[in-house]
Structure 1
Amino acid sequence: MKNRVRLSASFALLALALSFADAYDPSTLQDICVAVKEPDNALFVNGKFCKNPVLTTANDFLFSGLQVPRSTANPLGSTATAVSVDQLPGLNTLGISMARIDYGIGGLNPPHFHPRGSEIFFVLEGTLYVGFVTSNQLNHTFFEKVLHPGDAFVFPFGMIHFQLNVGKTNAVAIASLSSQNPGITWVANALFSAKPPISPEVLAKGFQVDEKLVETLQKKFWYYN
Structure 2
Amino acid sequence: MRQLEVRFDSVSFAFGDRVVLDGFSAVLHPGQVGALVGPSGSGKSTLLNAVSGFVAPSAGAVSLRRVDDGTVTGPSPELVAWVPQGANCLGARSALDNVMLGPLGDGQPLPAARRTAHDALDRVGLADRASSLARTLSGGELQRVSLARALASSKPIILADEPTSSLDAASTEVVAALLHSLSVDATVVVATHDPLLIAAASYAVDIRRRSRAA
Q: TM-score range by the shorter chain?
A: under 0.3
Q: Whose helix fraction is larger, Structure 1's or Structure 2's?
A: 2
TM-score (normalizing by structure 1): 0.26
Larger radius of gyration: 1
TM-score by length of 2: 0.27
